[in-house]
Homo-oligomer: A and B are copies of this chain.
């Protein structure tokens, strides 16, 4: 472990102690000052971003990633608006989650407290620097951020504005520490900073997740794949089902809560599959199917198990026909990435069995998978969507950036 990274950890820990007991007004003032400075320093931020973009273009970056890297005045305004929105949310810290009195008179309270130091390793998008730091600070945490090398100049400029804003409101500057060495070795050191990092949230693709699984020794919340599946039951309202499937697949195909698989009960497949296929193809969706699907829809490619396991993140959908609800549940659990699975049905028993037996962060009945999202759930903002089962499962907002502490009030009790 390098001294430089240890020193960052120490500084983050020190800041986290101050933030842990900072009042709501101080934290909000810090967020609002940071928002103001982001807008004021937009020229410097855009200049830094231009340097990143130049280097990225010279390095041959594709248009998709380039667009994610690019900042504009409007995007900086949106980052500032995000900070103001977080300032307006309720402070989760201090909530009494539970409390009771023991027969011996001990009063036990379970109180919501900040995690401490939250590390986030992310890719390319400079807006994550601002969004993540804002959420961490509102929940009383110090944020230790490690973005990608391609966005380093942009991130440094954004971080400078935020740090100055926090300081202006009397919060520690180190509420946000940006790791300014973007090497892989340093990222691995951050994953192993067990003494100083209370929680690591990776925001990135499968390569980052694999690296975290290999190297991380700090506690991690995995924001993993979304291989979301929709099962259309025999009793489904078919017109509604077509709207939902088309929405879930096409409304924003690149995101984790978009649908990747459509399963249809055999009893309605003859009627439903050609209709939904036509509607999907009209939106430009490529369909691949199992034998049952291809028997009912012309010109459909073969869907392999790999397809059913894939998050295409594109206008492509795997289609299968299942003989029963049991088979649907089995297929869904077999290929689930633990994100969002949906059933479309008018049958109460089927809905109850599906919601009970499917193992995922979110199980949706008669709605689009696209609703699994912090904003859509009403959390006001989102730090990610957990596909693991410990600590947080599903969309994560401010509460998921906290932990609990037991406070035990006695009057001299000893154990007999």
Instruction: Find chain B residues with CB under 8 A from A411 CB.
Output: 366-367
| Contact (Cβ within 8 A) A365 B244 | no
- A406 partner residues in chain B, CB cutoff 8 A: 361-363, 372, 377, 393-394
Pairwise interchain contact B412-A21, C-beta atoms closer than 8 A = no
Q: Chain B residues with Cβ under 8 A from A244's Cβ?
A: 412, 414
Q: Is the CB of B390 within 8 A of A391?
A: yes
**Residues 35-52 (chain A) with a chain B CB within 8 angstroms:** none
Q: Which chain B residue has the least Cβ–Cβ distance from A217? A: B213
The docked-state distance in angstroms from the alpha carbon of A343 to that of B403 is 22
In the docked arrangement, what's the CA distance between A393 and B115, Å? 11
* Mask: chain A, 358-396; 1 = CB below 8 Å from B; 0 = not: 011111111110111000111000000000111101100
Does B368 lie within 8 Å of A415, measured CB to CB?
A: yes
Across the interface, do A393 and B389 meet the contact criterion of CB distance under 8 Å? no
A374 nearest CB across to chain B (Å): 12
The reply to whether A20 and B359 form a contact with Cβ atoms under 8 Å apart is yes
A95-136 residues at the B interface, CB under 8 angstroms: 100, 102, 106, 108, 113, 115-116
The verdict on A278 contacting chain B, using a C-beta distance below 8 Å, is no
Indicate if the CB atoms of B410 and A393 lie closer than 8 Å. no
Please tell me if the beta carbons of B367 and A408 are within 8 angstroms of each other in the complex.
yes
Chain B residues with CB under 8 A of A213? 194, 217
Given A363-B406, A406-B363, A408-B363, CB of A415 within 8 Å of CB of B370 = yes
Q: How far is the CB of A53 from chain B (nearest CB, A)?
A: 31
Pair A408/B217 contact, Cβ less than 8 Å: no
Q: Are A108 and B377 in contact (CB under 8 A)?
A: yes
Distance in angstroms between the alpha carbons of A414 and B404 in the assembled complex: 36
Interface size, A (range): 35 or more
Closest to A109 in B: B355
Interchain CB contact under 8 A, A405 and B362: yes
Min distance, Cβ A287 to any Cβ of chain B, angstroms = 20
Contact check, A403 vs B389: say whether CB atoms are below 8 A apart. yes
Does chain B have a CB within 8 A of A240? yes
Which chain A residues in 11-45 approach chain B with CB under 8 Å? 17, 20-21
Contact A410 B365 (CB under 8 A): yes
| Chain B CB within 8 A of A322 CB | no
Within 8 A of B (CB), among A161-220: 194, 198-199, 213-214, 217, 219-220
29 contacts between A and B (CB under 8 A): A17-B359, A20-B357, A106-B367, A108-B377, A108-B378, A113-B359, A115-B389, A116-B359, A198-B390, A199-B390, A214-B217, A219-B388, A219-B389, A219-B390, A251-B414, A361-B405, A362-B407, A363-B405, A363-B407, A363-B408, A365-B410, A366-B410, A367-B408, A367-B409, A367-B413, A368-B415, A371-B413, A376-B415, A390-B390
**A291 in the interface (beta carbon within 8 A):** no
Residues of B within 8 A of A7 (CB): none
Q: Are B368's CB and A409's CB within 8 A?
A: no
Report the nearest B residue to A113, measured CB to CB. B359
How far, in whole Å, are A220 and B355 apart by their CA atoms in the complex?
27
Q: Which residues of B sit under 8 angstroms from A217, Cβ to Cβ?
A: 213-214
Q: Is the CB of A243 within 8 A of B414?
A: yes
Tell me if A347 counts as interface (CB < 8 A to partner B). Answer: no
User: Could you tell me which residues of chain A, from 225 to 277, have a CB within 8 Å of some CB in chain B?
Assistant: 237, 240, 243-244, 247-248, 251
- The residue of chain B having its C-beta at the shortest distance from the C-beta of A406 within the complex is B362
* Distance in angstroms between the alpha carbons of A349 and B280 in the assembled complex: 65
Q: Which residues of chain B have C-beta atoms less than 8 A from A391's C-beta? A: 390-391
Considering the complex of A and B, which 10 residue pairs feature the smallest CB-CB distances, nearest first? A367-B410, A247-B414, A370-B415, A390-B391, A389-B403, A391-B391, A367-B413, A362-B406, A240-B412, A364-B408
Report A267 CB to chain B, min CB distance, Å.
Answer: 21
Q: Is A293 an interface residue (CB 8 A)?
A: no
